[in-house]
Amino acid sequence: MTAPWWREGVVHEVYVRSFSDGTGDGVGDLPGLRARLPYLRDLGVDAIWVTPFYPSADHDAGYDVIDHRAVDPRLGTLDDLDAVVADAHALGLRVMVDLVLNHVSSEHPWFRAAAEAGPGSAERARFHVRPGRDGGALPPTGWPSIFGGSAWEPFGDGEWYLHLFDVHQPDLNHDHPDVRADAERTLRFWLDRGVDGVRFDAAGGLTKDPAYPELPDGWQPGHASPYSDLDGVHDHYRRFAKVLSEYDGDRVGVAEVWGEPHVIGPYVRPDELQQAFAIDPLFRPLDATLWRRLLAEQLDAVVRHGRLPAWAHGNHDVKRAATRWGEDGARAVLLLMLALPGCVYLYAGDELALPEVDLPDEAITDPTYRRSGGTDRGRDGARVPLPWTTGPAPYGFAPDGTPTWLPQPDGWGTHAVERQEADPDSMLALTRRAIRLRDELWRGAGDEVTWLESLPAGWLGFRRGAATCVTRFGAGPDPDLGGLGEVLLTGGASDGSATWWLRGDRPGTTTDEEAGWDRR
Ligand code: GLC
């Protein structure tokens, strides 16, 4: 029996608003994506995850959803979505959609009704609504919003509603039967249309402690909280997993969870989802000892449930990989992740090594900027529309002369697809080669990783199947890799981090001693 595609696949995250504009309004859309599907086929990825394209008030770039079972007219139509799925399938690509079930837009009909209906109403029971303290003057608890400020907003009549994100994203109460039924209906709606998988946005937030306890003294973001990753949240993923299993084909559900390995492991128990993101490494500096521990922990947390990790190389919520780790680091980590057991999620534009853009203040749309009082510049710098041609602006993203929803900086065309396609040393060329070679070397190689225990300090390496992956974190001399096998691919820089893939041509000969390296 062959393993399902997602187990060791590569998924490209298409941030739809910034991928390609087919209609000429400066915002990426479904027709734009459809026209670029051959590019994604050529990249060699198995699937795309398309970020929200539902009707939205755009207070959080589409993650504030007004109707979960429709397409925002600015981004296309349901027919366009069907055409994306059909064309993708014809090209051998799968399509995953992004389900935002934790909250809705404040313009969603349910929330409008709740605002109007008043305190204690049935309409408000679909949300997390509490009386304020001090006769309604103060928020019910001191819970902070993930985007800054309080997580509670007053209705103005003594009751407050919970929003873990922006004030325009009220949290749904998933203990309410209407909310549960609606979530399931949404899931079936997209699966019925033939999508191959689902990303569950803000997956850990669906269950809140009904006692709404105060956070303990000294609590910090990232610590356990009464609104994330509670035991009860797993009942939802068991239900969703059951729905997914009713559909034919290898459908996949991936949980967007930001916790450490022990937090994400439970989401991939055999009766839950197929994947939960391994996001933790995204925030970590490139240090060999640290990464050896991180990677081993991530593997252990999911392999014990018979699953493999879903490595995130980047995404639309963090700084661009080429800025976070440097371009050499982004290359080295890409090759490292592609060599590990599991599925790799690559963020559109990172295959071009796009840098984070420092946008002018007035161009920033991310609610975190406003809610943090300007101290956090937010995530827009990683969402600037992609450059397809060398110029002029908008670099093939939209028809000539169209201003883009986030401004592209001068010189953006130096990173263009057109240019990188012609350069064998480009990040794009490396990504294409690596994805193909990975399939040949490692797909189906199983979950076993044999770490090379005696590499020099600053190095990390392992054998899998008949090949070896070795990473040097940071600059340093290149040891003689000859003893490990024939070098097949290198990604990184001689004066920075780098990863080498080698074919271990004689099984059993790729030990550190034979490579002539000193033990630490
Ligand atoms: C997820 C999304 C992020 C969004 C948030 C609220 O973390 O990835 O972009 O802002 O959920 O929906």
**CB-ligand 1 contact for 470 (6 Å cutoff):** no
As beta bridge partners, residue 461 has: 470
pLDDT at 519: 33
Q: Is 184 a catalytic residue?
A: no
480 CA to middle of ligand 1, Å?
45
**CB-ligand 1 contact for 366 (6 Å cutoff):** no
Atom of ligand 1 lying closest to residue 165 CA: 6
157 CA to middle of ligand 1, Å?
29
Active-site option among 80, 201, 328, 351: 201
- Angle CA 3–49–148, to nearest 5: 125
pLDDT at 507: 45
- Whether the CB-CB separation of 204 and 229 falls below 8 Å is answered with yes
pLDDT at 1: 63
Q: What is the DSSP letter of 132?
A: P
Q: Rounded to whole angstroms, how far apart are CA atoms 186 and 460?
A: 43
Q: Can you give the pLDDT of all 520 residues of the chain as single tens digits? A: 689 999 999 999 999 999 999 999 999 999 999 999 999 999 999 999 999 999 999 999 999 999 999 999 999 999 999 999 999 999 999 999 999 999 999 999 999 999 999 999 999 999 999 999 999 999 999 999 999 999 999 999 999 999 999 999 999 999 999 999 999 999 999 999 999 999 999 999 999 999 999 999 999 998 999 999 999 999 999 999 999 999 999 999 999 999 899 999 999 999 999 999 999 999 999 999 999 999 999 999 999 999 999 999 999 999 999 999 999 999 999 999 999 999 999 999 999 999 999 999 999 999 999 999 999 999 999 999 999 999 899 999 999 999 999 999 999 999 999 999 999 999 999 999 999 999 999 999 999 999 998 788 999 999 999 899 999 999 987 777 777 889 999 999 988 999 999 997 544 444 444 444 443 3
pLDDT at 480: 74
pLDDT at 381: 98
Q: What is the DSSP letter of 213?
A: P
- Whether the CB-CB separation of 397 and 385 falls below 8 Å is answered with yes
Distance set, CA 71 to CA 39, 79, 222, 296, 481 (Å): 23, 9, 33, 41, 52
- Whether the CB-CB separation of 78 and 195 falls below 8 Å is answered with no
- Whether the CB-CB separation of 323 and 356 falls below 8 Å is answered with yes
**CB-ligand 1 contact for 182 (6 Å cutoff):** no
pLDDT at 508: 45
379 CA to middle of ligand 1, Å?
10
pTM of the model: 0.96
Please give the biggest Cα pair distance in the chain: 76
Q: Is 235 a catalytic residue?
A: no
259 CA to middle of ligand 1, Å?
15
Active-site option among 246, 358, 362, 425: 246
Q: Rounded to whole angstroms, how far apart are CA atoms 511 and 206?
A: 48
| Nearest-CA residue for atom 3 of ligand 1 | 317
Q: Rounded to whole angstroms, how far apart are CA atoms 196 and 4?
A: 11
